[in-house]
A = this chain, B = another copy of it.
Amino acid sequence: MAEKIDPWEQGAVKDYRRLMKEFGIEPFSSVLPKVPQPSLYMRRGVIFGQRDFGKIAERMKNRQPFVMLTGLMPSGKFHLGHKMVADEFIYLQERGAKVYICVADIEAYNMRDKGLKELRETAIEEYLLNYIALGLKPKNCDFYFQSERSKDAEKSNAYYRMVGIISRRVTMNEMKAIYGELTPGKMISVFTQVADILHPQLAQFEGKMPTVVPVGVDQDPHIKLARDIAAKLNKTGDFKFEAPSATYHEFMKGLKGGKMSSSDPLSYIALTDDPKTVKAKIMKYAFSGGKDSIEEHRKHGGDTKVDVSYQYLYSQFEEDDKKMAKIKADYESGRMLSGELKQLLCEKLEKFLTEHQEKREKARDQVHKFIGRD
């Protein structure tokens, strides 16, 4: 089914398939039947690939705990692309995951002209508040900063010492083969990310436990490296890690059909955007698969493979498969016009954003339950 009403342009899909083969990523469809109540992203193929997700599905089925780890870079506005990842890990939290969320503030500090304090505020205002409004719960959640792992020194020490230990398990040639030429800062950032992925399994945290990391394919090198290093560390006898699992999601297209870019507010919809403004943005800028004239459109129909409004509905806002299939049929046959399709998305978005923004304001009272607890 994912193929029939696939929201993404054919070219991109072909690329994803090629990448999967090259990288050794398994299709998500091969584990989908084992996942109890799969998420919309899983059902619709937005999550298209996986490594070792079978053991996570098994845990979900048996209601056994597992770890989900994700990272965020505290910069820019929280937009629909971020929402997709958040929806996914909140879904996993609801199904038993202990959720680890790492704020890569040291990396952001090194790359931007902002202090750690300002970055911390961005992480809370732009990320944490939106996560809470989307449904993240404080129970089974460890929201932490790379610059300040924990209020518990034992935990902090255990986490940071992993960076040094990990760095000895890989040669410079292996690093170059994976990442090309690297700066020293980028190298430390890679080892820190591997420590992020593996440390929830240390005795000071959860102990050995299946862990899933939801990523885009561009992050796969970190996953492979973390899996390699886990195996090498297990061999020393001092560590016991489950090889980390991963899911791979497609990148959400920008409003104008290209990439989302934080420097171009017309390329994305932020979750704090005023709903009225969003409507105007979509009507004016959303890349359309409709034809140039109504006559032509009625005759030939719209192209769902390139229509951004269609794809946003498909991937995030119209969960009902029957309704979605009807929209597809109507639009492709020309019964539905481009403006009508946009109107459908606007209605969904207006309702979502209005409710979300109320929840986000209420979420402020919850922040203390996520930060500075241990």
A-side interface mostly: helix
At the interface with chain B, which of A45-53, A182-190, A257-265, A347-355? A182-190
Q: Can you offer 21 A-B residue contacts whose CB atoms are under 8 A?
A: A106-B164, A110-B165, A110-B168, A116-B238, A147-B164, A153-B153, A153-B155, A164-B188, A164-B192, A167-B184, A167-B187, A168-B183, A168-B184, A171-B184, A172-B181, A172-B182, A172-B183, A175-B184, A184-B191, A187-B187, A188-B188
- Which residue in chain B gives the minimum CB-CB distance to A147? B161
A368 to B188, CA, bound (A): 34
In-complex Cβ contact of A106 among B152, B161, B188 (8 A): B161
Q: How many residues of A contact B (CB 8 A)?
A: 39
Listed residue (A106, A168, A170, A187) with the most chain B CB atoms within 10 angstroms of its CB: A168
Taking the nearest CB of chain B, how far is it from the CB of A111, in angstroms?
8
A109 to B163, CA, bound (A): 13
State the oligomeric state as a number of copies: 2
Do B189 and A106 touch (CB < 8 A)? Answer: no
- Which residue in chain B gives the minimum CB-CB distance to A107? B164
Given pairs A107-B164, A153-B155, 20 additional interface contacts (CB within 8 A): A110-B164, A110-B168, A115-B238, A146-B161, A147-B164, A148-B157, A148-B161, A151-B153, A153-B156, A160-B163, A164-B188, A167-B184, A168-B185, A171-B184, A172-B181, A172-B184, A184-B187, A184-B191, A188-B188, A188-B191
A40 to B148, CA, bound (A): 44
